[in-house]
């Protein structure tokens, strides 16, 4: 396979950025702030109900001009417009990429193959409205006439991470009678833990699989079905199982009434699907009106991304800053630090969104790339991370850019907590930027009366290099609308970076190989003969067969 110049390295802007980086790599953000008292105003932007402060980055106005020039040279605006227009930009699967259509208003016209998709999108939304209203009101009842109390979503990947993250994030808005559960892992411990807590009389299962053939999802769904049937019988399956799928025959054969089958489309990628019928658990949990607010928040960010010039375009700026660190400073990971407990699943959600989208080594044309692409995405909620891995980020050998996320107002009444939380969030961003010099350490310890010889011994341990970049994303409060905007922000950031790197952000062939191999290995574990594999796999299979009595 031939290596080719990537979309990035083929540009004139890339050469200019290389020269610029030779100077910028030695900048100290402390000095940048000292020289420019308006830096916060200059390097901040609002859009879609969110505020981004990106002043704590190793940038100046020249940096941003060059990054903006790069975006234009690789055709970001043209690719963006093609996506919104329904062109088939997912070239390896010959599909449009139209998750944005799922949150567009009903009067919009968005076409795929000459057909306006909006009437069908809103027909499914109305189907979701009717169903979620019945479950929440108690009109939808289980076999014994009792209202539903537990909803179990069975899916995997985008059919699990999206709705679970959103339901957790919108916890204060959920119906008090309903408890949401999410099962994705083929490991039986996952399903067993949920089934041990629920009552078949009052439990509703949502089986989410477009084809109704996804191995992990269908194994869990069949086991849940067996659990239910063993306690009640097949006749009441339609009262306790619904499907998010397009395979009507398989859904019907499973025992689900196809009137309770919620479809979505091949132009909706799994990791972009929470806005579709995959979001049915969200609509049930928070109510359809709030689900509509969630869609509207995302649409607001869509409009910002679609219309704002790159210089003031929040997703584009976030994406270009990521390119600056990944491809010029050589950073290999990005930490996500939401200072909001209800966003505890957000970093995991972004792992799939960004790494499955841009974790590619070939261009859209199939050539090996000559640049690094997606960094590793990881993180946890503040303040927990401060007492775990922030040590490495402050004083370790790697520079790791951080995205801080916070709400200015809480969704609880514990008044004393939130100022402390925000103070910690802002303080960490400041500490990453400023660090602490050896002279500052000496002065501080001397004022505390520490002996000189002890100061000399401790200075290296208590010095912080600082100059660690971060972004600060703020919202007024975490609501369905601001959450929708936040997710859409990162979707479009991911799109921006995919365009710069020249990859197809909307396929995921890398997840298939292991699935294919697993089928033959499963047969070797459970079948009469162990089969022939490499020596390591053969040895592992032998141990598994012995343990399981195969």
Domains 58-86+308-449+456-505 and 118-293 share a fold: yes
Residue position matching structure tokens 């067969």 = 545
- Can you tell me the distance from the alpha carbon of 550 to that of 546, in angstroms, rounded to the nearest whole number? 6
Contact between 227 and 190 (Cβ < 8 Å) = no
* Mean pLDDT of all residues belonging to the chain: 96
pLDDT at 2: 63
As a whole number of angstroms, the distance between CA 83 and CA 96 comes to: 7
Domain 58-86+308-449+456-505 has CATH 2.60.40.10: no
Q: Which residues have a catalytic role annotated?
A: 356, 387, 515
**Tell me, what's the pLDDT at 511?**
83
Weakly modelled stretches of the chain, pLDDT under 50: none
Domain 118-293 bears CATH identifier 3.90.79.10 = no
List the one residue out of 398, 417, 399 whose CA is nearest residue 407: 417
Q: How far, in Å, CA of 183 to CA of 216, rounded?
A: 10
Q: What pLDDT score does 138 carry?
A: 98
pLDDT at 255: 96
**Contact criterion met (CB below 8 Å) for 34 and 528:** no
pLDDT in tens, 188-216: 999 999 999 999 999 999 999 999 999 99
The Cα-based distances of 264 to 98, 147, 166, 268, 523 in angstroms read 11, 27, 19, 7, 33
The whole-angstrom separation of Cα 59 and Cα 471 is 12
Ordered by start, the domain boundaries in the chain are: 58-86+308-449+456-505, 118-293, 510-548
Asked if 401 contacts 325 with a C-beta cutoff of 8 angstroms, the reply is yes
């Amino acid at each position: 396979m031939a290596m080719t110049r990537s979309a990035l390295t083929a540009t004139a802007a890339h050469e200019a950025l290389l020269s610029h980086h030779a100077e910028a790599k030695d900048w100290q953000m402390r000095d940048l702030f000292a020289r420019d008292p308006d830096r916060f105003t200059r390097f901040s932007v609002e859009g879609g109900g969110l505020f981004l402060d990106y002043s704590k980055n190793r940038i100046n106005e020249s940096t941003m001009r060059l990054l903006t020039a790069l975006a234009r040279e690789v055709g970001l605006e043209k690719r963006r417009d093609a996506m919104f227009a329904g062109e088939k930009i997912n070239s390896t699967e010959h599909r449009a990429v139209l998750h944005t259509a799922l949150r567009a208003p009903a009067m919009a016209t968005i076409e795929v193959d000459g057909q306006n998709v909006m009437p069908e999108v809103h027909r499914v939304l109305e189907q979701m409205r009717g169903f979620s209203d019945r479950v929440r009101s108690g009109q939808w009842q289980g076999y014994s006439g009792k209202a539903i109390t537990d909803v179990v979503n069975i899916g995997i990947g985008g059919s699990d991470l999206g709705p679970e993250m959103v339901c957790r994030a919108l916890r204060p808005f959920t119906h008090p009678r309903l408890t949401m559960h999410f099962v994705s892992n083929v490991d039986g411990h996952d399903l067993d833990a949920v089934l041990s807590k629920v009552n078949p009389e009052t439990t509703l299962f949502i089986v989410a699989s477009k084809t109704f053939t996804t191995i992990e999802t269908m194994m869990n769904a069949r086991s849940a079905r067996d659990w239910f049937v063993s306690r009640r019988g097949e006749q009441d399956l339609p009262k306790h199982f619904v499907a998010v799928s397009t395979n009507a025959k398989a859904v019907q054969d499973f025992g689900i009434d196809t009137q309770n089958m919620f479809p979505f489309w091949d132009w909706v990628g799994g990791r972009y699907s929470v806005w579709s019928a995959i979001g049915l658990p969200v609509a049930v949990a928070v109510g359809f009106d709030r689900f509509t607010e969630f869609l509207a928040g995302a649409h607001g960010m869509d409009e910002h991304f679609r219309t704002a010039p790159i210089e003031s375009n929040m997703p584009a700026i976030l994406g270009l800053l990521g390119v600056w660190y990944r491809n010029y400073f050589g950073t290999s990971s990005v930490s996500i630090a939401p200072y909001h407990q209800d966003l505890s699943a957000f970093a995991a959600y972004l792992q799939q969104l960004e790494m499955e989208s841009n974790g590619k080594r070939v261009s859209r044309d199939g050539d090996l790339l000559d640049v690094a692409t997606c960094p590793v995405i990881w993180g946890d909620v503040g303040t927990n991370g401060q007492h775990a891995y922030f040590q490495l980020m402050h004083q370790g050998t790697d520079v790791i850019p951080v995205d801080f996320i916070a709400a200015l107002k809480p969704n609880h009444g514990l008044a004393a907590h939130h100022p402390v939380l925000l103070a910690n969030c802002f303080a960490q961003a400041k500490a990453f930027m400023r660090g602490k010099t050896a002279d500052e350490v000496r002065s501080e310890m001397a004022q505390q009366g520490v002996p000189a010889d002890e100061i000399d011994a401790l200075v290296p341990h208590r010095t912080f290099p600082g100059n660690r970049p971060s972004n600060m994303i703020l919202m007024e409060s975490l609501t369905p609308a601001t959450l929708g905007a936040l997710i859409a922000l990162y979707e479009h950031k991911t799109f921006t970076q995919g365009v710069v790197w020249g990859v197809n952000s909307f396929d995921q062939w890398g997840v298939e190989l292991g699935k294919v191999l697993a089928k033959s290995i499963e047969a070797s574990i459970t079948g009469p003969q162990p089969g022939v594999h490499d020596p390591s796999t053969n040895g592992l299979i032998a141990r598994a067969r012995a343990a399981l009595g195969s």
